[in-house]
Homo-oligomer: A and B are copies of this chain.
Amino acid sequence: MTETPISRLSINADRLMSRLAALSEVGDTGDGGVCRLALTDADRDGRDLVVSWMRDLGLRVDIDGIGNVTGTWPADSTEDPVMTGSHIDTVRTGGRYDGNYGVLAGLEVIETVIESGIEIGRPLAVAFFTDEEGARFAPDMLGSLVYVGGLPLEVALDTVAIDGAILGDDLERIGYRGPLPCPARPPAAFVEVHVEQGPVLEAEGFTIGAVTGVQGILWRELTITGQSNHAGTTPMSMRHDAGFAAASLASTVRSIATEIGGAQVGTVGRIDLQPNLVNVVAAKATMTVDLRNTDAELLAEAERRLDAAIAELAHTEGVKITSRELARFAPVDFDPAVIDLVEHVAIARSCSVRRLPSGAGHDAQMLARVCPTAMVFVPSVGGISHNPAEHTSPTDLEAGANVLLDVMLNLATEHTT
């Protein structure tokens, strides 16, 4: 990355906000939030609205076998596009901007380019991927996973929803089972703009996050079997207290995260004791451990420390501890050149910018398997996400869309592949 041209273009913030408002009315939960679970009628209505905007702009609308929708400009282009996009499905208590912002900012970028009449080297595309949230069909990021060939289409179509529906049936029902094959031909590059869903940018006063990658995740469920005892009559030295063991491991998870430092986080979000009574030493505890890091080596180190702590505690407390893996995802590193580009463009736009990893999963991490990819984050007020109170200021939404505009123009001009 040598020179970073700044376009003289800027997106139309009113138009972006107006489309965001219109889309948020589909599945409006009445409390500032939105519910458009994947492949429900509300999701179909949201899709129809966004597709109508794509068609109004003259984009070529393509739908693939898993229901991912891409709008490409120029409509008759055959070259691999510079692509942006995100998702428009939401969790049950979703906010207005999670995913939707990335899709509509992409649409706004393309409309801005079309309006400007400038010539660009590559076509531009904006996509929304099916079932990013995973709130109705597991796994999350399902559409982009199928798009890049990480999951066979036939397997994905057989996925059963939490409400018993079959994914392929629902896709047919809402009219979004398209003809394009999966996996798709990769775009030239991919960049996604998204709300941070965490507190860092707001707390540290940055407008733009240049996302360096997505954390690796390790989820464990630990089951601790001790011995139920009378809390009054059992001396401390004779206890095999599953509750204490769980508490001790939860404290250890905190220590592991703070000692490793950097991007390492560790969370014990669930603890269930049995019999869970004030005067009975717990016989059994079930707990979860969530460890994440952008660095695969350090994440492995955190896991080793956890296992060592489990083994030691089982010995000293005289309890049995079994461990079940609930999830394991390797960290994803975004493309250094595209990360640099995001950073340079933001600085050129006089936006404060910091690099940071993503703690949440995004479609971009799937696209990173097949093309140069990065993400742009804008601040989430209070770090609140998956909640009707999710909020990002219009100024920040505008800034993020303008950064996306310049990143896409640079990628389209430089033929970055």
Chain A positions within 8 Å of B, measured between CB atoms, are 196-200, 203, 215, 217, 219, 221, 229-236, 238, 241, 243-244, 246-251, 254, 257-258, 264-273, 275-282, 288, 290, 292, 326, 358-360, 383, 385-386
Contacts and interface: CB of A to CB of B under 8 A. Distances in A.
A202 B221 CA distance: 36
Contact of A199 (B233, B269, B360): B233
Contact of A273 (B238, B249, B269): B269
Contacts of A217: 232
A75 B233 CA distance: 38
Given A243-B268, A269-B276, A232 B251 contact: no
Contacts of A290: 231-232, 278-279
Contacts of A231: 265, 267, 269, 290, 292, 359
A235 B200 contact: yes
A15 B9 CA distance: 102
Contacts of A268: 243-244, 247
Q: How many copies does the complex hold?
A: 2
A278 B200 contact: no
Contact of A276 (B248, B270, B281): B270
Given A203-B238, A270-B273, A271-B273, A233 B360 contact: yes
A248 B254 CA distance: 10
Contacts of A229: 199, 383
A217, A273, A385 pick with most chain B CB within 10 angstroms: A273
Given A203-B238, A251-B251, A270-B273, A233 B278 contact: no
16 contacts: A198-B233, A199-B235, A200-B235, A219-B278, A230-B360, A230-B385, A233-B383, A235-B265, A238-B383, A243-B268, A247-B247, A247-B250, A269-B276, A270-B273, A270-B276, A271-B271
Nearest to A215: B232
B272 A233 contact: no
B269 A232 contact: no
B258 A250 contact: no
Nearest to A377: B233
B282 A233 contact: no
Contacts of A246: 247, 250, 271
B281 A232 contact: no
Contacts of A250: 243-244, 246-248
Contacts of A221: 278
Nearest to A203: B238
Given A231-B290, A269-B280, 8 more contacts: A197-B230, A198-B233, A198-B234, A230-B383, A233-B358, A247-B249, A248-B251, A269-B279
B236 A247 contact: no
A247 B257 contact: no
A269 B277 contact: yes
A292 B236 CA distance: 11
A48 B235 CA distance: 38
Nearest to A232: B359
A362 to B, nearest CB: 11
Nearest to A257: B236
